[in-house]
Structure 1
């Protein structure tokens, strides 16, 4: 999955370039003329809804104190009403962003300025993204009246000030949008943040719920008791538990001047942060810190699961994030070491995102033999077994993912513990079918692909099915990598609830896999079937319900306490994307042991962005 201070430069720079091109004439002019007559105030521009009542209009001599200057990406600065000039309406923000485009930034924090320009509503990611808009002044002319002024005191964002309810329901007459609804900052978290858009805000010492990423940003929560888990994260447990205490933290200073703190989930940002409250495409409401605390390392450890017993079959799923031979050896070694040390060398490992032998080079190569040889060699070097593998090469560029990479699912298995039943291996377009052999279910092709011609799998990874034998008992394993969440609106969308358009495809994919499992169970009611992989959806989703339909399967993650159900951390929410589902033949939670092994998602240093899952049972 996946989704600005020496910021997310590839993204913010692109945004800045697009807007700058559209506003090429909007250069920043700085003068030292006397103060002009009072005009429109910031709160008049911001208004009491999410969009300005003055959008598209020219405003003159808007007064404010500069609270922060951003000289990268979307260049500009924030101003806020001086003390004593705010209105008495909690819904109207007293801060605003002044977009300068490519102009040099010669104002600084503490300058008292007057700004003239055009009021705009900028939608990060474009109107098709569903994102809320950022109210700003564009094509500015700026008069600096004085410097060295005290900054407006930060508005404290605390567990008490952030409402427990996340957002109002969208207006049906407006297509489910909340844009035109009056802000109720004491009732809804999103309304509170919108009422503070552009203002100087501050948080106290806060727990980190999303590790520092490659773009120098992290996530904290100001609500330490909001759906916590034992490792320090905040669990996303339903579509109505969005966790409004989460805030993204960036910094104004480039990392060349001030290194951004490196933090894991559960660490504490001691001293908190203070700075303007921004809204961006890759996190929604974001505190862009002018002042930033330090990280109190709480020593989060990577988990290790137990070794399977002699009579237990251990089956795992692991998304290894676009692995190909051009990746550095240290990535192979780290992933291999995790299989051995953290997953205790499962008998069967379903891998997702194995790329072909030259990775993203788009030259028609589809074989992944070199990738798998390098990976299995690394496992042996880490002290693990000599795994064999089975897979079906995809058609070139037909399975989605990185162009030229040809990602696919692969079975690794330990031949000293389990055997693979080879049955006329299928190809990319030939489906494996359920047949009867000796009164029991079998596959026509093993390994084989499930229903590859189904439109549900267009430009997506086709499920890989295989027959295994453990201690004389057949086990059917189906490895999956469902369609991504790309295209879904964010939790901070102006549509509430957000539009989750990607679910449509995953629902069809789940129905196809569910139908295949039902075919197995029609032939052999008590068959042991394990469906696993990167499902790209939550345990409470329509996708999971479709997989489970008719009692064909049950998601094993629900055998865990609610606070431990997660395999991925996105925007500070610990959530389920990777799953293992079992047929009734495998038994219930009393008959198997399931573990979501947290070794990646919570850490700043990752070998993959997913945590692997392990199921142990006695066939």
Structure 2
């Protein structure tokens, strides 16, 4: 978390002048909560009054006037219950003491507090403490408050503990069950902030309140009874020249056969070959492994790891990979990682067998992963990028073992279904982090000048891209996640030697979709031509130099901060739309200029069309003017249509749904009848643009709209009501237009198996996007489609669809909103990452003809074992039509398309799952015929579970 600049992994603040320049100490770079004493006045309490202690780890004073320390209960979702305003400034490396309430009269008086408020009375077992840049009580989000979330909530630092619903990464646990146990929550390294409460704080008996009058210090750590190191651990002393050896133990004995060493707390001596060193980047240690181990392992019998992390910055700096060493130290568990806290070490001159990387597929169970913890591995099998959101923050990816990314549970199956549960289990079995050998938060001001690893201009690591391991890695465990680590801290400067992987380039031109009229839906990510600097009260997300990039709140604008950033955003959107190949585009999240700035409702839309024509040629695009009648109290974003007049013409006026209470919280749908140029009324088709209510949680939501936990998010009841209202609107508008050919497109904020989608498909509409095998959105490490194209029965007979994956799968670092967040300039003017949603493209062939009957028969799906892995054998036979078919076989482990399959011809494919066992599942067969009248058929075939382990 950084004050001063742009996006951070934990929080962002608007900081007093000088703080950004002060963040040069290599630490947190902003004021942090350093201690929270929660049991003041209770039995055995050393002090009568509760307190929150702050610390300034930077080299310049920080003005905290107008800030406050706030508290909210562990289960609270509304505004903070208490707020203590702060005044003055905190000197470099100095503390600031905020006194609160008390549980009784036991204990001494605190040193003179710098601020106080008796209403600040945090629970001793669970709650949320926040340092924020306002004195107004803030409504904190639930979940992990880091990055954009923290910045939007004006959070500088936040501490969630116990069962709190608000925290950084994970709440601190391990607090005593009674307030009679004296102690406090203390940041283990006050100069550092790992944006992870569970790792950054520990409960100990030492209570050390310090106010601004205390002598400024640059602490290395604050003692507790049983220190729990933070992921950026404080370096240990250099080894002694005459070490005192403990009992000799093998690495295997230290590791044991469970997730906790049987020797925790004991001082032991062991030997091993150095395999990886991390003298920089925050790991502050090295890995050693028993000589001669590794290679081809049978994980059924290999039950204890031969690798071990040694915690010592001095040793990591002095030792080299390949050296055989003897280490003495105390065994501990650091956030689940078994390690040896070295007190002495030396190089052993003996010749020993080399360590071999273990050639193993990623295990699906924690027990088998534990048997490889800390070992050198050469990952076997296929891997793809599954999530790249954290790359912009921590230089890490989530990978999926196998050939497919993880699918949203409610995209895979109905909420609560076995299919949805299987999607969650699939992620648990196949997910592993690819890290950079460091804990660096690249979004902090202190680290923004450090280039991001892995990301290079023009070659992004996209979700779904195949990953090839070119060198061994260490299997590590941190932040409750398994990770592949390079053998030393990875930077762009050493990438040629250190980076252990390459990524396949999966960028493609826009898909070719057959048809004579092409309709697209494209969410353009808050395209506002009213920029923040044109309005009063706007607050901003800022780059590493403190320059405003996008609006964060305080005014009606939601997009670019100024003209320069608008141009960056607009250029990418223009290249995306002009490269899409669409004739009609439904736009979502475009500015409603009337609501935002009191301008003509279409002002922003007109500017986008001008920009499109400047790129594609004068007159290429036009926009559909707003209807004469529009709803009152509209949102600041809206839906709209643009089109190519050389190809298609709007027939009559557009119409927006007015008066439907279901859309009180969202954007009303917009309908327009279209006719291809040169066509007749028989060719008319109605297109309706939609943007349903979002899934984001809102404490003010009515009970029926709260997140029920079934995977559909908040406001599901509202979206269901919107779906019913849309069907009524579609029915009346299509009847007035005299056509049964209807296409409903847009951002429905519902995945493919959720209730709102089912309402529409139960009414006879076909979800064309479901036939593509592609998704339009990435969230929480899962891909799924929020964007859909629903065709009426008459139109579905002549419709095909595809998705152009230009946005959701791209690293967020490439987005215009992250311009200059890092010293590496990752922005370009291409269509890629022009938004966060992917456009869907539908091809229609008008006029309607009598469809050809498509049939496939005899689908098969049989799992079998080979080499300890499950393979899935699939086949189907093309059926009756005289013409050839296109056939797509889709499984959870990939899909395969066959083109121009002759009648009565069998096609088959064997899918490699990469797993030792798979649950029961379903093969989906989609058959297509296209001659200008196109038709398709979808059939399924269930297959049984298979275990090859």
Q: Is the shorter-chain TM-score for this pair beyond 0.5, marking a shared fold?
A: yes
Which residue in the other structure is 2:471 paired with?
273
Residue 465 (str. 1) matches residue 465 (str. 2): no
Query: Which residue of the partner structure matches residue 135 of structure 1?
Result: 337
- Check the 8 A contact 1:506/1:543 in 2, yes or no: no
Which residue number in structure 2 is paired with residue 58 of structure 1? 265
Q: Which of these residues, 762, 785, 796, is aligned with residue 550 of structure 1? A: 762
Describe the superposition over 1:166-225 as per-residue Cα deviations: whole angstroms up to 9, x where unpaired: xxxxxxxxxxxxxxxxxxx5xx3555434433332223696654597535445666645x
Q: Distance in 1 between matches of 2:766 and 2:318?
A: 60
Counterpart contact for 1:31–1:143, Cα < 8 Å: yes
The corresponding residue for 2:641 is 412
Aligned to 2:774: 565
Partner residue of 2:482 out of 275, 285, 289: 285
Deviation (angstroms), 1:297: 5.8
For 1:568 and 1:218, the matched residues in 2 are separated by 17
Q: Is the counterpart of residue 119 in structure 1 residue 328 in structure 2?
A: no
Superposition CA RMSD, Å: 5.1
**What is the CA deviation profile of residues 555-601 of structure 1, one whole-angstrom value per residue up to 9, with x for unaligned ones?**
212233xxx3222467886x33233242535533x321212123334
* Pairing partner for 1:318 from 520, 523, 543: 523
Distance 1:80 1:394 in 2: 68
What is the DSSP-based 3-state SS (H/G/I as helix, E as strand, rest coil) of the residue aligned with 2:571? helix
- For structure 1, the 5+ residue unaligned runs are 123-133, 163-184, 230-234, 358-363, 400-405, 426-442, 488-498
Alpha-carbon distance change, 267 to 38 in structure 1, aligned in 2, over 3 angstroms: same
Q: 2:194 aligns with which of 6, 10, 15?
A: 15
Paired position in structure 1 for 2:940: none
Once the two structures are overlaid, the 10-residue window that deviates more, 266-275 or 577-586, is 266-275
Please say if residues 384 and 401 of structure 2, whose CA atoms lie closer than 8 Å, have aligned partners that are also in contact.
no
- For residues 85-96 of structure 1, what are the structure 2 equivalents within 5 Å? 90-95=302-307
- 2:356 equivalent to 1:153: yes
The residue that corresponds to 2:578 in the other structure is 340
- The answer to whether the 8 A contact 1:208-1:220 is kept is yes
What's the CA shift string for 1:470-499, capped at 9, x where partnerless? 236573624125535899xxxxxxxxxxx9
**Residues 1:595 and 2:783 are matched in the alignment:** no
Conservation of the 8 A alpha-carbon contact between 2:308 and 2:374: yes
Name which structure has the greater RCO, CA cutoff 8 Å, separation 6+.
1
Quick check: 1:209–1:572 contact (8 Å CA) kept in 2? no
* CA–CA distance in structure 1, aligned partners of residues 524 and 271 of structure 2: 50
Partner in structure 2 of residue 331 of structure 1? 569
Counterpart for residue 260 of structure 1: 454
CA 1:103–1:551: 2 relative to 1, 3 Å: farther
Pairwise mapping of residues 449-488 of structure 1 onto structure 2 (< 5 A)? 451-453=662-664, 462-471=666-675, 475=686, 477-480=688-691, 482-484=693-695
Deviation at 1:84, TM superposition (A): 7.0
Distance 1:356 1:105 in 2: 57
Q: 1:340 to 1:43 in 2, by over 3 A?
A: same
* Cα separation, partners in 2 of 1:104 and 1:608, compared to 1, 3 Å: farther
CA deviations over 1:387-435 (Å, ceiling 9, x no partner): 3465989979xx8xxxxxx6x3421323842257456x7xxxxxxxxxx
Shift of 1:366: 9.3
User: Quick one: structure 1 residues 236 and 20, their matched pair in 2 at CA, closer, same or farther if it must change by over 3 Å?
Assistant: same
Using a 3 Å threshold, how does the CA distance of structure 1 residues 419 and 257 change in structure 2: closer, same or farther?
A: closer
Q: Aligned pair in 2 of structure 1 residues 413, 196: CA closer, same or farther (>3 Å)?
A: same
Residues 92 and 470 of structure 1, relative CA distance in 2, 3 Å threshold: same
Q: Which residue of 2 aligns with 1:171?
A: none
Check the 8 A contact 2:470/2:502 in 1, yes or no.
Answer: no
Give the one of 234, 239, 249 matched to 1:31. 239
In the other structure, the counterpart of 2:712 is 503
1:378 aligns with 2:611: yes
Q: Give 1:334 shift.
A: 2.0
Shift of 1:31: 1.6
Query: Closer, same or farther in 2 for the Cα pair 1:500/1:280, shift >3 Å?
Result: farther
Secondary structure of 1:505's counterpart equals coil
**Contact (CA 8 Å) 1:96, 1:137: kept in 2 or not?**
yes
Q: Do the aligned partners of 1:465 and 1:479 also contact (CA within 8 Å) in 2? A: yes
Report the counterpart of residue 165 of structure 1 in structure 2.
none
Q: Which residue of 2 aligns with 1:611?
A: 838
Alignment check: 8 A CA contact 2:639 2:691 kept: no
Q: TM-score, normalised by structure 1?
A: 0.64
* 2:399 aligned with 1:196: no
Deviation of 1:516 after TM superposition, in Å, equals 1.4
Shift of the 113–550 alpha-carbon distance from structure 1 to 2, 3 Å rule, reads same
Give 1:350's match in structure 2, choosing from 587, 602, 612.
Answer: 587
Q: Would you say how many aligned residue pairs link Structure 1 and Structure 2?
A: 501
Secondary structure at 1:260 match in 2: coil
For 1:214, which of 392, 399, 405 is the aligned residue? 392
In the other structure, the counterpart of 1:127 is: none
Distance change (3 Å), C-alpha of 1:223 and 1:538: same
Which of 1 and 2 has greater Rg?
A: 2
Which of 427, 434, 438 does residue 249 from structure 1 map onto?
434
2:745 to 512, 517, 532: 532
Q: d(CA) in 2 for partners of 1:576 and 1:452?
A: 24
Q: Unaligned 5+ residue runs, structure 2?
A: 1-7, 10-25, 30-145, 148-168, 170-191, 203-220, 224-228, 414-418, 441-448, 488-497, 529-558, 676-680, 699-707, 815-832, 848-949
Distance 1:450 1:580, change over 3 A: farther
